[in-house]
Amino acid sequence: MARPIRRFGWLMLLLILGLSAAAQEPGPAVDLTLPSVTVSEVTVQTLRDRVIASGLVAPVEEVQVSPLVEGQPIDALLADVGDRVEEGDVLARLSTATLELQLSQLAANRASVRAQIAQAEASLVQAVANAEEAERVAERTARLAQEGTVPRAQADQAQAAAIAARAAVGVAEQGVEAARAQMELVEAQIANAELQLARTEVRAPVSGLVVGRNAQVGAVASAAAGPLFTLVRDGELELRAELAEGDLLRVSPGQRATMTAVGSTAPIEGVVRLVEPTINPQTRMGVARIALDDDARVVQGMFLTAEILLREERQLAVPVTAIGTGAEGTSVMRIRDGVAEQVAVRTGIRDGSLIGVVEGLSPGDLVVTKAGAFVRAGDRVNSIPDADQRVAARSAADGEDTP
């Protein structure tokens, strides 16, 4: 009985030794002494060159409405802040009592001047008739004096009378002209009084939104006291975004912009309307005026953050961390067959954590994105794919598949 047991023990020992030897057989060769680096694949992506700016919403054009008649009390206010008005709408009415009284006085003056004109014209007719008669008498007396019928002195008197009569005609004509000039003056005064009377209705010079009212019923209207109303022409608002000094020359009219308000995620679209050609000497900031596609979603004074799209291109892209700079210029560490090599590149658009490469790399190349500072050209390394790039690529693919 002891011999079978001993034989079974030897068999078990041989089996254990065989399993141990199989477990110790080497698998695929992995050199655990090589440094590990994180690499990213060079891919073609859409990159956007953008400028971030912020500022306050302000009117495109603000119109001040001041009284055109001085010293008249305000009788009624017909518009308030928040009202939308059309061009020509009456915003306020001023008292007309003083001007109506002045107009009545001028109407009486006009009637008096008309009588003066009529009297001057009658005097002119009489002077013309007297002059004609005096000339006939002078001619007749001169003929009689030549014939010796009357004395020469009588003929001279008749000639002098004719000359005086002609002078009287000139005086009468001047009287008529003076009366007519007086009438023109009175007519001008009446027209001015009627204009002042019409201006007692303070009207909107443009269509727009009332954003300010500085008037009270009973107060005396005066331009020196400031405008009665403030209007925003057509209700148009814009964002006056402040730009860093280095970005001012990169922004130009026509570029699209996406804006967001504090506490809101809904974007507001717009377009750069104007870039002011000056920089604030204190803040060293410039201003771009951005017209809003839908200004009904904002109010004057609201703070917005704008992302201005300068350009958009398809470029080879790598993480910003892959780019290195030195005395020889800009370069990346490319991995080929497990060996690092330094490659000079020319960069393009920077978009967040990515930067475009327009020269030096090809699609599918692997570049070191992490621990690159510890790698030199010619080093053999263990390449570890960048997990962040895989997640970003998966998200981009999901976005493209989404209709």
CATH for 87: 2.40.50.100
**Residue 255: inside a domain, yes or no?**
yes
Domain count for the chain? 4
- Whether 327 and 244 share a structural domain: no
- Whether 168 and 102 share a structural domain: yes
**Residue 29: inside a domain, yes or no?**
no
Q: Where are the beta strands (DSSP E) in 137-236?
A: 201-203, 208-213, 229-233
- pLDDT for residue 240 is more than 60: yes
Instruction: Report, as an integer, the average pLDDT of 117-125.
Output: 89
- pLDDT for residue 242 is more than 90: yes
> What is the 3-class SS of 246-277, one letter each residue?
HHHHHCCCCCEEEEEECCCCCCEEEEEEEECC
**Residue 22: inside a domain, yes or no?**
no
- Whether 189 and 224 share a structural domain: no
pLDDT digits (tens, 9 = 90+) for 182-237: 999 999 999 999 999 998 999 999 999 999 999 899 888 888 888 999 999 999 99
CATH code for the domain in which residue 296 is found = 2.40.30.170
Nearest to 82 by CA among 205, 226, 212, 206: 212
Nearest to 87 by CA among 58, 56, 65: 65
pLDDT recorded at residue 31: 52
pLDDT digits (tens, 9 = 90+) for 17-75: 444 444 444 444 445 577 788 889 999 999 999 999 999 999 999 999 999 888 899 99
CB-count burial class (<10 Å; 0-12, 13-18, 19+) for 399:
exposed
- Whether 305 and 334 share a structural domain: no
| Residue with more model confidence, 107 or 265 | 107
**Residue 19: inside a domain, yes or no?**
no
- Whether 137 and 263 share a structural domain: no
Q: What rounded mean pLDDT belongs to the chain?
A: 84
- In percent, the amount of the chain with pLDDT more than 90 equals 44
pLDDT digits (tens, 9 = 90+) for 351-391: 888 999 999 899 999 999 875 567 788 888 888 887 765 54
pLDDT recorded at residue 295: 84
Dist. CA 326–CA 209, nearest whole Å: 58
Nearest to 270 by CA among 311, 304, 244: 304
Q: How many residues does the chain have?
A: 403
- pLDDT for residue 274 is more than 90: yes
Dist. CA 141–CA 196, nearest whole Å: 62
Amino acid identity at 227: P
Domain residues for the domain of 365 are 36-46+313-401
